[in-house]
Structure 1
Amino acid sequence: MPIKLLLIYCCIAFGITACQSNTEDTAKIKKQTLEPATNTAIDIIAQTLQVKYQQSDNRPSAKCDQQIANGNCYKVNLQLTANNSINYTQWRVYFSQITPIQTAISDEFTIKHVNGDLHVIELSEQFKGFKAGETKTITFYADFWSLSESDAMPNYIAVNNNDYAQVINSTKVTQDADTGLENRPYVVPYTDLERQFKRTKNDKTQWLTAESLYERNKNYDFTAFINNKNSLSKTIAQQIIPTPTKATFSNTATLDVSSGLNFHFNNINTKSVAAAISRFEQLGIQQVKSTAAVSVNLALVADSTQPNGRYTLAIKPDAIYIEAGDESGVFYAIQSLASLYKMGQSTLPVGTVTDQPHYQFRGVLVDVARNFRDKEFILKLLDQMAAYKLNKLHLHLGDDEAWRLEIPSLPELTEIGAKRCFDTTEQHCLMPQLGAGVDPSSSVNGYYSVADYQQILKAASARHIQVIPSLDMPGHSRAAIKAMTARYNYYMQKGDKLKAEQFLLHDPLDTTVYSSVQHYNDNTINVCLESSYAFIAEVMQQVKNIHHEAQHPLTRYHIGADETAGAWVSSVACNTFIKENTLGITKVSQLGSHFIERIAGMLASMEIETAAWSDGLSHTEPQKMPPVVQANSWGLLMWNGHQQAHNFVNQKWQVVLSTPDVLYFDFPYEADPKEHGYYWGSRQINSEKVFQFMPDNLPVHAEFWLDREDNPYVADDTLKVNEQGGVISAPLAKNKAFLGIQGQLWSENIRSNNMAEYKLFPRLLSLAERAWHNANWAVPYNHNGGVYSQNSHHFTKQLKQQRDQQWLTFAATMGLKEFAKLEAAKVHYRIPSVGAKIESGVLYANIAFPGLLLEYQTLDGQWHDYKHPVAVNNDVFVRAKVASGIRYGRMLKVTFN
């Protein structure tokens, strides 16, 4: 008898009690059909479960927690589809979600925040299993906004009660064959401008379509720079990137270098310029030792009054002469020669260049902690930094997600802290934050051995680049904390309590509940434990020794010191320290500054200068810090970030501008949800915006830049004092200046070398331009202060015209000379998108950089070269490609009207 008829019969014959009893039995029978997930079951789930991530609404709603993120949250529909039936229970799915989930709506699933960005989907008691082809949807609401498809992290992990874990295949990224970039097949593309693309109702950001890009590109006409498709105009032939201080060239005379260059080193150490000469050879100009070849005389002029890096380059009709104040100047002069050279040609313009850097500090930060970049990537980057006269590599080696440098006396740091897999105890590896997956040998994992790191140091020395290592502390230190916890557990099991506690970084009795900016609850070193300082001293001595052995002295170290959130409140060690210290520390809020001051003193005793981020340094007392302190200022300009930068300079600290509005290269190039990257400070930082930066005058940008929602903002650079007359903020004092600027490549969602190079290049060339060259269109800083907005007009129309004309030349030089050099070095630079429109059945297309080839795709799927306006009769796609035709830019759709 069918179960349904049997139930009806029971209800009639025996009454409601029997009916209820049999209903419960039936539920038990149904539930029993779901068997606990075995390892094989997890394999099946990983192979067959299809995941789709659809951000559907950024607009605040009643579902948003009004106490969090000012009531802002976004809605996601997470669709789970079973290709085959899934009749298993006792399994769950771990996944990375960059902002915490507030609420999850589902009868059959729950979602919990684990730590950092890691969340877990668990089965509720109502879970009924999946029929073949069945889709179940979990709707969740998460903090803030989601504005880019790259927000949806990959590598969801199916796990059973045995902690057997496998990545769900449908959530893996793939590589696009044409662009070399990541595809996320599990992400549903954005389509709605108002619901999905914008932050708030006041957000004025426009989606950069092919049509709007066409209108923007129309502002720049490159035809004047191109004589024909095979040659450059004289203007481009005479350009050097970065722009020299002064350059004068003949309009007719050239020097033939087809027979190679014969270097006369005189009193120059050949090792100091070998890397620059090697680049010449890579570009196609050979070094020869023949009197018939063109001679390059390198004469070093010792003059201690001349700044480092200054040089004079004279290209004569029959020879080249270089004079400089130091070996770096000679090196840069040779790089300028290489910049003048166009691949495939055989001449250089005759002329004279007198040059020196505008800033002493011209840096690039590469975050290898969140996602690893291998040694070969760093070596290639050093080549390109040197080519464009950048001289500081800030290598971010340690953070919450990993520790990347071998410390021989503390092997746990790399044995455990350098890899993410699936280990809930975190005694063998760290849990898989940032969509890392479960494979400890994947490319996002790894570390530099001492030999690897010393090879990097030696390569940097050969290119006149200083490596500034950073192992963040006391916040952003989870990898180190967990590695030292594993060390503690190991030695405690062996009964060696003294050794177990030697380098312990957390207080086991600390019950403080806190959440860092990246949502960790256990990422902050306890600053009240002497073992924490013993650990730091051990690490710093080891790092110093490694540098010394590589003949690359460790003279400056970046301690991080940023984003320490609410830790230590309930730490027994800290409560004891506050009661017993004689330093005047009476409350927990003083502990962070005490840590920075103590570590800075420790470094000074080791003859190492301290560098740190501005937010941590802002809490210290300058009189308790060493005389030399580097402050990386990362305040947003749109939020008056210039004020803190000025304050640090005025108190005689060395300030390196790391301004997110323009110098965070993990941010997208353009406002398009398919453009990869975080965007909390800006939706769009293209190469032109970096070129526009006036680092000597931060507040003036309010006249022509917009905030992160494309609305005007006001920058107040007037003197501000508190009720006691103390200075809150003030204009930059006269005769004070910034030490330099640094571009940042943070790597939370950068998982491949290709993507990392895409994010760095070609913006790195604009960074080099602003670091080296002081533009004549830049508005001089007003030391008397003022209020800047779109109505203040210090940046005049004439200055804007100068800037835009120089950008036109710069962009043409990149497209017509430098891109080919990047291509030859196998640098995966960003090929720009093509602007296009269809008007009256005719396709018009343009691009921001000349020298690239344009294509359009018709309905039959065929790509055709675009050389001039062409008739079309339907929607088309457009894209650019390199001259060799082996790599393509991202395509955009053009709508037929």
Structure 2
Amino acid sequence: MRALRAMGTSIAALAAPLASAADTSPQASLDRFADTLGYRYQVVDNGPACPTGIEGCFLSTITLTMPERLPDALPTQGLSLYFSFVNRLPLVESDIFTHQLVNGDLQQLTLKPGATLRPGSKYEIRLWGTGSNFSKAFAMPNAYLVVDGLQPRTIAATRPILDPETGLQYLPFVAPMTDEAKLATKGDADKTRWLTAERAFASQAERQAPEATGIAILPKPAKATQGRDKAIDLGRGVALTLTGLERSAVAPALMALGVAEGGAVPLAIRVDTAMKPESYVLDVKASGISIIAGDAAGASHALRSLAQQAMFERGKLRPLHVEDAPEYRFRGLHIDLGRNFHGRDQLFKLVEAMAAYKLNKLHLHLADDEGWRIEIPALPELAEIGSKRCHDPAETTCLLPQLGAGPDGTGGVNGYLSVADYVAIVRAAAARQIEVIPSIDMPGHSRAAIRAMEVRAARLTAEGKKAEADAYRLIDPADTTEYRSIQNYDDNTLNVCLPATYRFVDTVVDALAKMHEQAGARLKTFHLGADETAGAWVKSPACMAMIAENGGDAGKLTPRFIERVSQSLAAKGLEAAGWSDGMGHTEAARMPGKVQTNIWGVLHAGAIREAHDQMNRGWDTVLSVPDLGYFDMPYAPHPDEGGYNWASRGVDPYQVFGFMPANLPANAATIRNIQAEGTAIEDKPILQPGHRVAGLQAQLWSETIRTDAQADYMLFPRLLALAERAWSPAPWTPAYQAGASYIWGDQRVDAAKLKAGWRDFAGRVAAQWPMLDRMGIAYRVAPPGARIANGKLEANSMFPGTAIEYRIGGGAWTRYSGPVTVSGAADMRSRSADGKRASRTIRVEPAR
């Protein structure tokens, strides 16, 4: 079968005149062609018969539709089309294009010599990718056209569009994914089913109706009771008295309370250092409000709890007694700025939201292959070159446009934090008792830094400053090693055998420490990533010399790098942090005494082994497990839900809420594996007595997150569930027993308590919508569950009080208030609490 065919060509079209006089120049012709070229991407099959030599493939197509009139001056000699394709692409079938991988996900299609494009014709290009494509989110925007000597132009049809109803971007060129049999799974072992309206209805009904709440505080306090006496009116303002702390220590929390000071209601805040850190006792009585806290953080937490309850009760507070303290001391949020940039205003908003829900660690991922996002004054090229993606094949002005960034270097995915920006963020976080943990991923995932330092080296070499040029060069020019990272880069790994690499690390860390000092918040922890790249450096003369001198082999180079950098950080008074795979390959005796590790193994595939091993080493072990904590994963297994899905096909708030950090194997009872199978989790190695996790961290990796609204959508409300689990124990958790394994549905996990806890939590989440609206957070509005049975349309929701709408036959939207008689299919959606945004629209068909 021909993979690319020309169809419907007419003599009249071939002889068509110029579309306009403005098309007489090659640049104008290219511009018009980019504006009028049709472009369609479609996933055809996730389980096809793969071509010889390719295992585990999927098939997708790009269909190019030529305009009826091609500009006369359109240069086709050397015409190339560039697009992002995030899976490996071993085979592209095309009659008139040749295919070449540029680097990473950037692909190039070049018109073959002698090939012509015919007006009005369609050309289908078959893409055989490795892995699978279960979601429309895998498609990337901003494919573009290039002709040597002309300015590249984005194909207009591939630009993202803002949906005015949802407030989210969508890609109009991506075909709907409707064939569940071909697109939902990969092989017979995969039991995943799309979460249709009918399946969501059944799932939500099984969890039972969520409850309205009386106490709205989230995370759930250790103890909270309400009285029936007379309410106090915060509208009268408060008379503030402070003992043992300054007003500045609680100023952001007081501002969030939103009550005038100098008023009539006494508000007394006192610090008692005999109490546990971050703990508090809150009393609301007719005579006034009293807060006693272990420290300023505890006082702030008490005020945040008070603010939530006050908003819920509209300022008329009934008597309330709360005793509270966190279950875990590390309650974190990780934001990836490297892949796609999210700037100062978004981070300010997230810092305030973290404080509202008692999270206390902000992990900023400041650099990766696709971008460097922090100004380092001593090395200006890092931000100048590394923060921008554009079409510059030599990469002397920017990085190549990965992840659909487009050719012109504009747009929100580009950018960096200036020193002033970063200082302001650290200062704002510190004012809310939140520690900022900067992260520079290394030695893998370092392409942005490497390319920027190559530009620096070229500049200084041209100036005759060879020694200065080499001082921060991060590669060995004589290294002929060939490798590909997981993300398909062949040049993204720092050479750990060069003195320049360690000089670079010191310079960056010292610059960050200085920024923290300017902010008045000492840098305490530096996250070095510790990501590895298999096969790097094996032909590097510098590394061969190091191995010859010190023994071992290339496989030991990354652990030695992590150990050396960690010891260097310890000498600076900093705690080293890294991801568990790289950290786990080090020798504990060669590491500092205090180390943080983030566990990112999947629960059914390595998390328990890594977590228990590294807790047993005595390290500060933070659970970042992807199947519950990676919020770039989709909310549900459905092609219209955004996000990558390599770790989970769906992470909904219920799953996050049900997490059992205190007994990791027990999670097999409530969490299925990636193929929706209820497999067992063994307790190997066992956790030694006296060790426990330091806490939990949510991750938002940004490969598919191009806007702040998308970031909000993916984070909230799941982040509320993680905040709950990091602060409050999960009473359905069985006590940890060394060596005990668990299976799906294991009755040692108290399912009744889990469901009751969820109903209470869901009610408290619903009470948070007005606060999130006020903060400007575009939280996800979940589509309703729905079914049509016996001619009746029924609907339910994940959270109580959610407004649901329906329409019949494309008519006007109508508020759903109960079962509706219908004669056919219906569309349904939910609305945000403020009514300004809608969920995606779902289709409900009559039961058969």
Match of 1:548 among 505, 517, 522: 517
Query: Equivalent residue of 2:183, what SS?
Result: helix
Deviation at 1:684, TM superposition (A): 0.7
* Gap change, CA 1:685 and 1:64, over 3 Å in 2: farther
Contact kept, 8 Å, 1:403 with 1:418, in 2: the verdict is yes
Amino acid across the alignment from 1:45: F
User: Are 1:621 and 2:587 an aligned pair?
Assistant: yes
Query: Equivalent residue of 2:319, what SS?
Result: strand
Deviation at 1:682, TM superposition (A): 0.3
Deviation at 1:396, TM superposition (A): 0.2
Counterpart of 1:65? 53
Question: Residues of 2 paired with 1:855 and 1:64: CA distance?
Answer: 50
Counterpart of 1:751? 706
Deviation at 1:252, TM superposition (A): 5.1
Counterpart of 2:5? none
Deviation at 1:254, TM superposition (A): 3.2
Counterpart of 1:267? 244
Counterpart of 1:675? 641
Deviation at 1:563, TM superposition (A): 3.2
Contact kept, 8 Å, 2:331 with 2:361, in 1: the verdict is yes
Question: Residues of 2 paired with 1:36 and 1:511: CA distance?
Answer: 47
Deviation at 1:540, TM superposition (A): 1.0
User: Are 1:299 and 2:270 an aligned pair?
Assistant: yes
Amino acid across the alignment from 1:80: L
Contact kept, 8 Å, 2:210 with 2:759, in 1: the verdict is no
Question: Residues of 2 paired with 1:269 and 1:655: CA distance?
Answer: 33
Residues 167-209 of structure 1: CA distance to partner in whole angstroms, max 9, x if unpaired? 1110111010000011111101111112112122221111111
Counterpart of 1:559? 528
User: Are 1:852 and 2:829 an aligned pair?
Assistant: no
Counterpart of 1:246? 223
User: Are 1:483 and 2:452 an aligned pair?
Assistant: yes
Question: Residues of 1 paired with 2:372 and 2:309: CA distance?
Answer: 41
Q: Which moved more, 1:502-511 or 1:859-868?
A: 859-868
Match of 1:111 among 93, 96, 99: 99
Question: Residues of 2 paired with 1:792 and 1:337: CA distance?
Answer: 38
Contact kept, 8 Å, 1:528 with 1:573, in 2: the verdict is yes
Counterpart of 1:129? 117
Residues 401-452 of structure 1: CA distance to partner in whole angstroms, max 9, x if unpaired? 0110100111000000011111101010000001001232310000111111
Counterpart of 1:806? 757
Deviation at 1:566, TM superposition (A): 1.3
Match of 1:41 among 21, 29, 34: 29
Deviation at 1:221, TM superposition (A): 4.8
Residues 538-560 of structure 1: CA distance to partner in whole angstroms, max 9, x if unpaired? 11111111111111111100000
Deviation at 1:106, TM superposition (A): 1.4
Question: Residues of 1 paired with 2:746 and 2:256: CA distance?
Answer: 46
Match of 1:768 among 723, 726, 729: 723
Contact kept, 8 Å, 1:93 with 1:159, in 2: the verdict is yes
Counterpart of 1:836? 786
Counterpart of 1:528? 497
Contact kept, 8 Å, 1:488 with 1:500, in 2: the verdict is yes
Q: TM-score, normalization: structure 2?
A: 0.95
Question: Residues of 2 paired with 1:36 and 1:403: CA distance?
Answer: 41
Counterpart of 2:468? 499
Counterpart of 1:164? 151
- Give the 5 Å matches for 1:117-196: 117-125=105-113, 127-131=115-119, 133-162=120-149, 164-196=151-183
Counterpart of 1:276? 253
Amino acid across the alignment from 1:298: I
Counterpart of 1:665? 631
Q: Which moved more, 1:381-390 or 1:79-88?
A: 79-88
Counterpart of 2:6? none
Q: Which moved more, 1:159-168 or 1:36-45?
A: 36-45
Contact kept, 8 Å, 2:135 with 2:640, in 1: the verdict is yes
* Gap change, CA 1:203 and 1:94, over 3 Å in 2: same
Question: Residues of 2 paired with 1:563 and 1:45: CA distance?
Answer: 43
Counterpart of 1:819? 769
Contact kept, 8 Å, 1:561 with 1:617, in 2: the verdict is yes
* RMSD of aligned Cα (Å): 1.8
Deviation at 1:127, TM superposition (A): 2.0
Structure ID, larger Rg: 1
Amino acid across the alignment from 2:167: G
Stretches of structure 1 that go unaligned for 5 or more consecutive residues are 1-28, 226-235, 719-729
* Gap change, CA 1:492 and 1:224, over 3 Å in 2: closer
Question: Residues of 1 paired with 2:351 and 2:211: CA distance?
Answer: 34
Residues 318-363 of structure 1: CA distance to partner in whole angstroms, max 9, x if unpaired? 2111111111111111111112223572322313211110001000
- Give the 5 Å matches for 1:4-23: none
Counterpart of 1:732? 687
Deviation at 1:222, TM superposition (A): 4.2
Query: Equivalent residue of 2:283, what SS?
Result: strand
Residues 26-71 of structure 1: CA distance to partner in whole angstroms, max 9, x if unpaired? xxx99xx9x99932332122111111001100114141634xxxx1
Deviation at 1:703, TM superposition (A): 1.9
Counterpart of 1:412? 381
Question: Residues of 1 paired with 2:134 and 2:38: CA distance?
Answer: 23
Contact kept, 8 Å, 1:856 with 1:879, in 2: the verdict is yes
Contact kept, 8 Å, 2:211 with 2:760, in 1: the verdict is no
Amino acid across the alignment from 2:309: L
Give the aligned length: 824
Match of 1:334 among 294, 303, 309: 303
- Give the 5 Å matches for 1:666-745: 666-718=632-684, 730-745=685-700
Stretches of structure 2 that go unaligned for 5 or more consecutive residues are 1-13
Query: Equivalent residue of 2:371, what SS?
Result: coil
Deviation at 1:164, TM superposition (A): 2.5
Question: Residues of 2 paired with 1:759 and 1:578: CA distance?
Answer: 45
Question: Residues of 2 paired with 1:130 and 1:779: CA distance?
Answer: 68
* Gap change, CA 1:435 and 1:703, over 3 Å in 2: same
Counterpart of 1:25? none
Counterpart of 2:741? 787
* Gap change, CA 1:777 and 1:637, over 3 Å in 2: same
* Gap change, CA 1:309 and 1:298, over 3 Å in 2: same
Deviation at 1:813, TM superposition (A): 1.7
Counterpart of 2:556? 590
Question: Residues of 2 paired with 1:336 and 1:884: CA distance?
Answer: 22
Contact kept, 8 Å, 2:333 with 2:697, in 1: the verdict is yes
Amino acid across the alignment from 1:288: E
Question: Residues of 1 paired with 2:482 and 2:150: CA distance?
Answer: 27
Q: TM-score, normalization: structure 1?
A: 0.90
Moved over 4 A (4+): 220-224
Question: Residues of 2 paired with 1:337 and 1:384: CA distance?
Answer: 15
Question: Residues of 2 paired with 1:223 and 1:94: CA distance?
Answer: 49
Question: Residues of 1 paired with 2:150 and 2:527: CA distance?
Answer: 38
Question: Residues of 1 paired with 2:704 and 2:730: CA distance?
Answer: 34
Deviation at 1:615, TM superposition (A): 0.7
- Give the 5 Å matches for 1:364-379: 364-379=333-348
* Gap change, CA 1:221 and 1:100, over 3 Å in 2: closer
Query: Equivalent residue of 1:341, what SS?
Result: helix
Question: Residues of 2 paired with 1:476 and 1:791: CA distance?
Answer: 39
Deviation at 1:860, TM superposition (A): 4.2
Amino acid across the alignment from 2:260: Q
Question: Residues of 1 paired with 2:207 and 2:590: CA distance?
Answer: 53
Contact kept, 8 Å, 2:562 with 2:583, in 1: the verdict is yes
Question: Residues of 2 paired with 1:666 and 1:684: CA distance?
Answer: 10
Question: Residues of 1 paired with 2:121 and 2:270: CA distance?
Answer: 77
Counterpart of 2:811? 861
Contact kept, 8 Å, 2:374 with 2:416, in 1: the verdict is yes
Percent sequence identity over matched residues?
39
Counterpart of 1:26? none
Q: Which moved more, 1:662-671 or 1:338-347?
A: 338-347
Question: Residues of 1 paired with 2:154 and 2:137: CA distance?
Answer: 18
Contact kept, 8 Å, 2:211 with 2:762, in 1: the verdict is no
Contact kept, 8 Å, 2:532 with 2:558, in 1: the verdict is no
Question: Residues of 1 paired with 2:127 and 2:396: CA distance?
Answer: 32
Contact kept, 8 Å, 1:585 with 1:591, in 2: the verdict is no
